Amino acid sequence: MELSLSTRAQQDHMVLSVGGEIDVYTAPQLRQRLIELVEAGSKHIIVDMEQVEFLDSTGLGVLVGGLKRVRALDGSLRLVCSQERILKIFRITGLEKVFGIYRTVDDAIAAGD
């Protein structure tokens, strides 16, 4: 399945909803979208991964890259994910310590208030 990306503003956050497979083939699209959002002025980004069916290390690298970009602007990048198979990947790699991971978009927004 190809990658799907859609954005919407919610309060003072930009929510990037991702669906499909984030892998070595599609990760450049995600990287480009994150760069576009930051360049357009978004510095509080929430990546909603509820519709993600596959995530590999390349996707993790892009997410870390996005986090670094917004942190350089005193911004934030939070993740929304409740799928155990995806959460397991963050646990194994230790990246659960790096990202704020929430079960819903509302929870992610509330975490910044």
With CB under 8 A as the contact rule, the residue among 38, 45, 81, 89 that binds another protein is 89
| Smallest separation (angstroms) from another protein to the CB of 67 | 7
| Smallest separation (angstroms) from another protein to the CB of 9 | 26
Q: Restricting to residues 7-46, which ones interact with another protein according to CB under 8 A?
A: 21, 23-25, 28, 31
CB nearer to another protein: give 66 or 102.
66
**Sheet (strand 13-22) strand order:** 4-10, 13-22, 44-55, 76-80, 100-102
* CA angle 22–46–12, rounded 5-degree value: 155
82 binds another protein (CB under 8 A): no
Tell which residue, 2, 12, 9, 7, has the closest CA to residue 33: 7
Rounded CA separation 83/104 (Å): 11
List contacts with another protein (CB under 8 A): 21, 23-25, 28, 31, 54, 56-58, 60-62, 64-65, 67-68, 71, 85, 89, 92-95, 97-98
